[in-house]
Structure 1
Amino acid sequence: MLSWVDGRPAELLSVRDRGLAYGDGLFETVAVRGGRPALLERHLARLAEGCARLGLPYDATVLRDELLAFSRQLGEGVAKLILTRGDGLRGYAPPQPAVVRRLLLGGARPAYPAEHAEQGVRLFPCATRLAEQPLLAGLKHLNRLEQVLARSEWQDDEHAEGLMQDASGRVIEGVFSNLFLLKGGVLLTPDLSRCGVAGVMRAELLAQADALGVPCEVRDIDLAELLSADEVFLCNSLYGVWPVRRLQGRDWPVGPLTRKLQAIARDLLDC
């Protein structure tokens, strides 16, 4: 694994780092193809929003330059960029001023089975619910225990992803994916203003669908509406689009809009 700390090759981290102690930070998982980071500007835009909300200093030039240099060295695979508030003393009070620590970890591209994209995946209905916290909603912050618990609910090979709902029962997302459904010609994706991660591929597909003239809505969705959809698919910035073929006894075909957006996502991730 390739690893940098604050722009230099390193594998050690201070035990006083607030990312370790409190999950005080953000991260991005970036596909790297041919030495280039995919969807770079969308990743940087989400980081900028996250830093503004958490009160972390943000330097777009440094982050862009480091991601580009790291990606050239990695060549092919996945770059994980982590920003923490740096070192701190005991206690929740953040250090003033904060000195942001930048971590870059590079690894191989995930070896997902080809049938996930070709035939679709089966969703596991997770019992773990997402807590509602509008101050953190949409951000890819370091507190991922809800996803850890949800992913531990199944160990079989039949389910490639899990469906997560919020405390009120609204459908939100997959454990590591965003969710879309097509119903009556309208492309729907859940509102993430209370909880969930606003993925960069989700943002890109909404823009692409709009450019294609497909009506899009971001709003609350309940389980009954999901189960009555015409097409359902998942997306993230590593695998692109996976059709959903089954959830709780409901089966879906792989629909034409899913295939069209899947092809667009594949092109985006090929850099």
Structure 2
Amino acid sequence: MRVNWNGRLLERLPEGWEEARRALWYGDALFETLRVFDGRIPLLERHWERLRGGLVLLGFEVPEEWSVFFWKKQLLSVAPSAARVRLTVWRRGGGYYRPLQNQPEFLITAEPLPGAAFEWPLDGLAVGVCASVRLPMDAYSSLKTLNTPRYVAAAREAQAHGWNDAIVLNAFDRVCEATASNVFWWKGDTLYTVPLSEGCVAGVFRALVLEVAAEAGLPIREQAIAPEALHAAEEIFLTNAVRGVQPVRIFAGTQLGSQRTQALFERVCARLGAG
């Protein structure tokens, strides 16, 4: 194979690239981003459940030795203390759109991220609605794949507006998710979120929040919603497995509170601490 890499002519791909070829060429991969706290990975079982389900859906042959115990050992080998860890899994070998085999490869990277637990942010987020992107809705929408140009475009639009994040709509112009988070909101004492059928990623922290809210006896509704209707929300917050709960202080120019959100966040932290 002849290669031109940024003007450099090579006889073969740079070292390591051949092994990751399907991830680079076709995005034939899934990833998980996890939080490690001083040797603890509190959401690991949920991450592995989602990753394994995605690998099966995409037709990977999942090795028998891959388990929660296996991944804990692998993850802590690069992140023994507090860190943001990314696990990427892709299909080995060549082929074009049709792969030649279905065995997986994986790569784990870690970046230091101080903190012994999820923390309540003193400053909330300023968030608007992304105008330039619409997300698809199908059986693969709930997976964390390398197909990210839409999220990159939404993040750049948020930056251009001076927002911390953007709410991205689905193909039917309804609220789907933020660039890397699920969306929740409060009306009265009822907690709302977008159903997975609307095309959002099946967030592990989203599932945890719903469980904790149900255990607390809070009214919960999973509801499709137009972005205009979100203006009636009394509180809005975003969730993901690295940042936990992020309250939205300003949505489309409107100031919001966060009292109910903080109370729920404290319940979630108590559950994680007990686990």
Short-chain TM bin: 0.7 to 0.9
In the superposition, relative to structure 1, how do residues 157 and 108 fare at CA in structure 2: closer, same or farther (>3 Å)?
farther
Deviation at 1:63, TM superposition (A): 4.5
Q: What are the Cα deviations for residues 218-261 of structure 1, in whole angstroms up to 9, with x where unaligned?
A: 121111221101211111111111111112122211122x0122
Percent identity over paired residues: 32
Q: How does 1:112-131 map to 2 (within 5 A)?
A: 117-131=121-135
- What is the aligned counterpart of 1:92 among 69, 93, 97? 97
Partner in structure 1 of residue 243 of structure 2: 239
- What is the aligned counterpart of 1:220 among 221, 224, 227? 224
Partner in structure 1 of residue 186 of structure 2: 182
Partner in structure 1 of residue 85 of structure 2: 79
- What is the aligned counterpart of 2:265 among 246, 262, 267? 262
Contact 1:83 1:102 in 2 (8 A): yes
Q: Distance in 2 between matches of 1:116 and 1:173?
A: 21
Partner in structure 1 of residue 197 of structure 2: 193
Q: When the two structures are superposed, what TM-score results if normalisation uses the length of structure 1?
A: 0.85
Deviation at 1:158, TM superposition (A): 4.6
Contact 1:37 1:67 in 2 (8 A): no
Q: What are the Cα deviations for residues 145-174 of structure 1, in whole angstroms up to 9, with x where unaligned?
A: 110111111436952211111122101111
Deviation at 1:268, TM superposition (A): 6.0
Q: How does 1:1-271 map to 2 (within 5 A)?
A: 12-14=16-18, 17-59=21-63, 61-73=65-77, 74-75=79-80, 76-89=82-95, 91-95=96-100, 97-109=101-113, 117-155=121-159, 158-256=162-260, 258-267=261-270
Q: Distance in 1 between matches of 2:158 and 2:228?
A: 23
Query: Which structure ranks higher in relative contact order (CA pairs < 8 Å, sequence separation ≥ 6)?
Result: 1
Amino acid at match of 2:42: A
Amino acid at match of 1:213: G
Deviation at 1:36, TM superposition (A): 2.2
Aligned residues: 256
Contact 1:16 1:88 in 2 (8 A): no
Amino acid at match of 2:248: V
Q: Distance in 1 between matches of 2:249 and 2:271?
A: 24
Q: Distance in 2 between matches of 1:16 and 1:81?
A: 14
Amino acid at match of 1:201: F
Partner in structure 2 of residue 7 of structure 1: none
Q: When the two structures are superposed, what TM-score results if normalisation uses the length of structure 2?
A: 0.84
Deviation at 1:262, TM superposition (A): 1.8
In the superposition, relative to structure 1, how do residues 264 and 67 fare at CA in structure 2: closer, same or farther (>3 Å)?
farther
Structure 2 alignment gaps of length 5 or more:
1-14
Q: Residue 69 of structure 2: SS of its match in structure 1?
A: helix
Structure 1 alignment gaps of length 5 or more:
1-10
